[in-house]
Chain A
């Protein structure tokens, strides 16, 4: 049985792999810079954008993107000013975004069948227009990481020292936030608002269990993200389960395998060093 003969599955596969690749590359910076909660917050604010677009009949992609970018900017500004701690600010935006979403959906008097798709992902409804947007986003992420590799690496490792050596730290902070916002929008297609942060966290955490080299970490995370999206989609088709769930569970399995490999390696290493000692 080959599920990828049909057009919608081909689009789903392409979208899944591209989103997996884009989010996985970005996840390395998110995880190492301890920004995991930001992705979670932005995705929930994005739901407000989705609901507003559904209510007013606007373009969902553009409205959600605007909401996500505004959320990223607001979180960035609040954390720079330092009056409210960053996680508190994210917490506030997160619940406000969801509350707005619920409000807008309630205001819409007619039935809104799409809502579940946006909450939990509906990759089978991906259009060629969506794929174009996903591909452009992936290209922008790849381009930024390639062009600003050394600046982002230093910024992620030690923000203060990066500033001392003349790197525009504030600019790169906002670049990362903007990239997270854009990736949230494309990832909502695949796994939905609730599960988006999985794509922005698990690939890098998995890769970090396996390697202590940053370049390898990016490569492993990329592999994990793409393979999990492929396997998750296949299982979704086979078992008739929403793709968001199967993709996230595939990612989680990869994480468990990586964790197990690390524990085994450390135990072996421990035995060797004990023998040496």
Chain B
């Protein structure tokens, strides 16, 4: 395997009992690129992310992140920023936006160490990157879905990561917030030189900006330039009829109509 790639995955399979969740996945992510992952629900997208993050370890095949096995990343773990699907947080939890971003620093700080003024300053800077510094002291559950998502992006950015992984970053937010979050992500990718993986149901951001695209339904159906994405590939992956609406020259939205 070459050292230059941020992620290299070779013949990865993962099954639960007799059922394959992922089967024979091979892909690589080059530094500074954006990999988009689309696919139907239950197609293994989040599982793939969990393997990359070291949360699932009993897979078959070879996975390297920054040249290491994901569960042996050591300090390189903090070079990854992760934005999970946010729906499972307790909306009444007594934490402010600043508290949530500070949490991003806790693992790196280590046991028995207390946050200092510079850590708080760093968390505020991360909030500023996503235009949320004004909400620093607001309770996380009192913010709108889009604002919460921005806070979670700030938490992922607070360690100055090299790799940013986002799982459905615009799920459950309105169209205006979605477009604004997408714009922010693309700006951050450029300004911070980030390598990015976005799992999304929204083909918009991926088709316009991704350098490579994985269409996943247990297997990897496509892993080339998004311009080459066609209806046949999508239908094969989704196992359903896909209606593509074109906006300019690029596929803008996919409407599923299950058979």
How far is it, in angstroms, between the C-alpha of A150 and the C-alpha of B107 when the chains are bound?
A: 9
Partner-contacting stretch, out of A17-25, A53-61, A159-167: A159-167
Chain A CB within 8 A of B90 CB: yes
How far is it, in angstroms, between the C-alpha of A160 and the C-alpha of B89 when the chains are bound?
A: 11
Q: What secondary structure prevails in chain B residues at the interface with A?
A: mixed
How far is it, in angstroms, between the C-alpha of A103 and the C-alpha of B90 when the chains are bound?
A: 41
**CB-based contact A154/B106 at 8 Å:** yes
**CB-based contact B106/A158 at 8 Å:** no
Residues of B contacting A154 in the complex (Cβ-Cβ under 8 angstroms): 103, 106-107
Residues of A contacting B102 in the complex (Cβ-Cβ under 8 angstroms): 150
Considering the complex, give the chain B residue whose CB is closest to the CB of A28.
Answer: B94
**CB-based contact B107/A212 at 8 Å:** no
User: Separation in Å of the B144 CB from the closest CB of chain A?
Assistant: 15
Give which listed residue, A162, A166, A212, contacts B139 with CB less than 8 A.
A212
How far is it, in angstroms, between the C-alpha of A208 and the C-alpha of B111 when the chains are bound?
A: 27
Residues of A contacting B9 in the complex (Cβ-Cβ under 8 angstroms): none
**CB-based contact B94/A165 at 8 Å:** no
Chain A CB within 8 A of B209 CB: no
Chain A CB within 8 A of B112 CB: yes
**CB-based contact B103/A212 at 8 Å:** no
Question: Contact mask B68-94 → A, CB, 8 Å, 1/0?
Answer: 000000000110101010001110111
**CB-based contact A157/B82 at 8 Å:** no
Considering the complex, give the chain B residue whose CB is closest to the CB of A165.
Answer: B107
Residues of A contacting B96 in the complex (Cβ-Cβ under 8 angstroms): 213
How far is it, in angstroms, between the C-alpha of A160 and the C-alpha of B80 when the chains are bound?
A: 15
**CB-based contact B84/A151 at 8 Å:** no
Considering the complex, give the chain B residue whose CB is closest to the CB of A216.
Answer: B94
Chain B CB within 8 A of A32 CB: yes
Chain A CB within 8 A of B36 CB: no
Give which listed residue, B54, B84, B93, B141, contacts A32 with CB less than 8 A.
B93
**CB-based contact A161/B103 at 8 Å:** yes
How far is it, in angstroms, between the C-alpha of A148 and the C-alpha of B89 when the chains are bound?
A: 21
Chain B CB within 8 A of A251 CB: no
Give which listed residue, A32, A165, A213, contacts B77 with CB less than 8 A.
A165
| Given A163-B55, A164-B53, A164-B82: A157 in contact with B89 (beta carbons within 8 A) | yes
| Given A151-B111, A212-B94, A212-B139: A160 in contact with B84 (beta carbons within 8 A) | yes
Chain B CB within 8 A of A112 CB: no
Chain A CB within 8 A of B108 CB: yes
**CB-based contact B94/A161 at 8 Å:** no
Question: Contact mask B99-114 → A, CB, 8 Å, 1/0?
Answer: 1101110111101101
Residues of B contacting A208 in the complex (Cβ-Cβ under 8 angstroms): 92, 94
Most B CB atoms within 10 A — which of A148, A160, A216?
A: A160
Chain B CB within 8 A of A88 CB: no
Residues of B contacting A32 in the complex (Cβ-Cβ under 8 angstroms): 90, 93-94
The number of inter-chain residue pairs (CB within 8 angstroms) is 78
| Given A157-B89, A212-B139, A213-B94: A165 in contact with B106 (beta carbons within 8 A) | yes
Residues of B contacting A161 in the complex (Cβ-Cβ under 8 angstroms): 82, 84, 103, 155
Chain A CB within 8 A of B95 CB: yes
Per the 8 Å Cβ criterion, residues 100-134 of B in contact with A are 100, 102-104, 106-109, 111-112, 114-115
Most B CB atoms within 10 A — which of A160, A211, A212?
A: A212
Give which listed residue, B106, B115, B155, contacts A167 with CB less than 8 A.
B106
Chain B CB within 8 A of A214 CB: yes
Residues of A contacting B95 in the complex (Cβ-Cβ under 8 angstroms): 153, 157, 214
Residues of A contacting B78 in the complex (Cβ-Cβ under 8 angstroms): 165-166
Chain B CB within 8 A of A238 CB: no
How far is it, in angstroms, between the C-alpha of A214 and the C-alpha of B104 when the chains are bound?
A: 17
Residues of A contacting B108 in the complex (Cβ-Cβ under 8 angstroms): 165-166
**CB-based contact B107/A167 at 8 Å:** yes
Give which listed residue, A151, A160, A167, A217, contacts B94 with CB less than 8 A.
A217
User: Separation in Å of the A172 CB from the closest CB of chain B?
Assistant: 10
Residues of A contacting B88 in the complex (Cβ-Cβ under 8 angstroms): 158
Residues of A contacting B93 in the complex (Cβ-Cβ under 8 angstroms): 32, 157
12 A–B contacts, CB within 8 A, in A order: A147-B111, A151-B111, A161-B103, A162-B106, A162-B107, A164-B53, A164-B55, A165-B108, A211-B94, A212-B139, A214-B99, A216-B94
Report B's interface with A, CB cutoff 8 A: 53-55, 77-78, 80, 82, 84, 88-90, 92-96, 99-100, 102-104, 106-109, 111-112, 114-115, 139, 141-142, 155
